[in-house]
C-alpha cells in the first residue's frame, strides 16, 4: 500500500477517479526488461503511489499484456491500480514489419482500426491476456478516419454495459477530433472520453496549440507520453548515460545538439539530471494529469520520481522556453491576431 511519502493523487479529467503524478508505461516490459525486473518495478511503483499502469495490446506482440496478467494474478494488486490498455493495431504489428511472421497467423482487414467488431474482439483478447474481468481505461490508440463515432460509441457502450470497460480514453487525437468524439458521445448520453494520451516534451510542444486546450475545455485528463523526447533529453550531456545516450546524441540534428548542450548547462546549474528536469517541466504544467514514464530499470523509476519533486523557478522556465520555443501559445492566437 502507498506510504506516507506517496505523492498526492489527482483526478483524471472530469471523473472522480484518482491517479498518481506519474503513469507507469510498460512498453519495455517483456522486451528490454525481463519479467522478474518488470515485477519489481511494478511493486516499487505501486508502493510509491503510481497507480496508473498503461499498456497496449500491440506492445511486444501482446507479450506485455500477458506479463501484466501474470503479475496481477500473483500479486493481488489488481484493485489497487488503474489499468489502462489500448486498441487499434493488431498485436502482431509490434516488433516485426511482417505481421504474419510475428503472429504465425494471417492478419485480416478487420483486425485493426476502430470498427465495432475490432474494438469488441480486441477488448476480449486483452481481458484474456491481462487475466482480468475489466479494464479501467480502454483507449483508442489512434484515430480511425473510416470509423464513424456512432459505430465507435456503440461498441464502447456495449463493453461498458457488460462491465468489461469502465472509462474510455483517446490517444493521438487532434483537438477537433477530441471535440467531435465528445459531442457525439454527449448526443448519445454517454460519458465519452475522459482522457487523451499524446506525445509532449520540451522537444515537441505541438499539442499546446489545440489538443491541450480541447482537453481542458471538455474535461479530459491529459496523459503525455515520451516526456524525455524519445530519450534525447535524458541524453543531453551526450555521455552521462553511457552508450545509448552517446548514440542518441550523435544522430541528433545539429540544431538539436545545440539545444541539448544548452539544456545540459541549465540542468548543471540546477544540480539535477537532464531526465529529471524534463519530467519536472512536463509534470508542472497544470493541464497535465500524469506523464507516462517507461522505466527499463529500478534506477530509472527512482529518477522519474525525483522529477515530480523538482520545482522549476520562473527564470529557469523562461530559459527553457528560449531554448525550446513552443508553437507560440494556443490556436488561433499562436498564428493569427
Condensed to tens digits (0 to 9), the pLDDT of residues 215-237 reads 999 999 999 999 999 999 998 86
Partnered with residue 33 across adjacent β-strands are 29
Residue 328: inside a domain, yes or no? no
Cell numbers 546549474: residue: 269
SS (H, E, C) 101-133: HHHCCCCCCCCCCCCHHHHHHHHHHHHHHHCCC
> Whose CA is closest to 59, among 86, 27, 36, 32?
27
Looking at 136-174, list the stretches that DSSP marks H as alpha helix, in order from N- to C-terminal side.
Answer: 149-161
Question: Choosing from 9, 59, 71, 335, which is the catalytic residue?
Answer: 59
Residues 6+ positions from 321 with CB-CB distance below 8 Å: none
pLDDT at 123: 98
Residue 123: inside a domain, yes or no? yes
Partnered with residue 23 across adjacent β-strands are 52, 292
Q: Which domain holds residue 170?
A: 10-231+276-312
Residue 247: inside a domain, yes or no? no
Number of domains forming the structure of the chain: 1
Please indicate whether residue 59 is annotated as part of the active site: yes
pLDDT at 97: 45
What is the Cα–Cα distance from 193 to 107, expressed in whole angstroms? 28
Residue 320: inside a domain, yes or no? no
Residue 183: inside a domain, yes or no? yes
pLDDT at 91: 75
- Joined together, the cell numbers standing for residue 181 give 468524439
pLDDT at 102: 46
Residue 237: inside a domain, yes or no? no
What is the Cα–Cα distance from 251 to 244, expressed in whole angstroms? 11
- What pairing do the DSSP bridges indicate for beta strands 18-19 and 10-11? antiparallel
pLDDT at 58: 92
Residue 161: inside a domain, yes or no? yes
What CATH number did the domain enclosing 305 receive?
3.20.20.100
Residue 323: inside a domain, yes or no? no
pLDDT at 6: 57
pLDDT at 101: 44
**What residues of the chain score a pLDDT lower than 70?**
1-7, 92-106, 237-252
Amino acid at each position: 500500500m502507498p506510504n506516507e511519502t506517496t505523492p498526492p493523487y489527482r483526478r483524471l479529467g472530469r471523473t472522480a477517479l484518482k491517479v498518481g503524478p506519474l503513469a507507469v508505461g510498460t512498453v519495455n516490459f517483456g522486451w528490454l526488461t525481463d519479467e522478474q525486473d518488470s515485477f519489481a518495478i511494478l511493486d516499487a511503483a505501486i508502493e510509491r503511489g503510481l497507480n496508473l499502469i498503461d499498456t497496449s495490446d500491440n506492445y511486444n506482440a501482446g507479450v506485455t499484456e500477458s506479463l501484466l496478467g501474470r503479475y496481477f494474478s500473483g500479486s493481488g494488486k489488481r484493485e489497487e491500480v488503474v489499468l489502462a490498455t489500448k486498441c487499434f493495431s493488431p498485436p502482431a504489428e509490434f516488433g516485426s514489419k511482417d505481421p504474419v511472421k510475428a503472429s504465425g497467423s494471417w492478419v485480416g482487414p478487420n483486425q485493426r482500426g476502430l470498427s465495432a467488431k475490432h474494438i469488441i474482439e480486441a477488448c476480449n483478447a486483452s481481458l484474456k491476456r491481462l487475466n482480468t474481468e475489466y479494464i479501467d481505461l480502454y483507449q483508442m490508440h489512434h484515430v480511425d478516419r473510416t470509423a464513424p463515432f456512432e459505430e465507435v460509441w456503440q461498441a464502447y457502450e456495449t463493453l461498458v454495459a457488460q462491465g468489461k470497460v469502465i472509462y474510455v480514453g483517446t490517444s493521438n487525437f487532434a483537438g477537433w477530433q477530441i471535440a467531435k468524439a465528445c459531442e457525439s458521445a454527449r448526443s448519445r448520453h454517454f460519458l465519452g472520453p475522459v482522457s487523451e494520451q499524446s506525445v509532449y516534451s520540451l522537444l515537441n510542444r505541438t499539442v499546446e496549440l489545440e489538443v491541450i486546450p480541447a482537453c481542458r475545455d471538455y474535461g479530459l485528463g491529459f496523459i503525455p507520453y515520451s516526456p524525455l523526447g524519445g530519450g534525447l533529453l535524458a541524453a543531453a550531456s551526450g555521455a552521462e548515460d553511457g552508450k545509448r545516450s552517446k548514440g542518441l546524441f550523435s544522430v541528433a540534428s545539429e540544431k538539436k545538439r545545440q539545444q541539448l548542450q544548452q539544456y545540459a548547462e541549465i540542468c548543471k546549474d540546477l544540480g539535477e539530471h537532464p531526465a529529471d528536469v524534463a519530467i519536472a517541466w512536463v509534470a508542472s504544467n497544470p493541464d497535465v494529469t500524469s506523464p507516462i514514464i517507461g522505466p527499463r530499470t529500478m534506477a530509472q523509476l527512482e529518477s522519474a520520481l525525483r522529477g515530480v519533486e523538482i520545482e522549476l523557478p520562473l527564470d529557469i522556465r523562461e530559459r527553457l522556453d528560449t531554448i525550446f520555443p513552443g508553437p507560440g501559445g494556443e490556436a488561433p492566437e499562436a498564428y493569427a491576431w
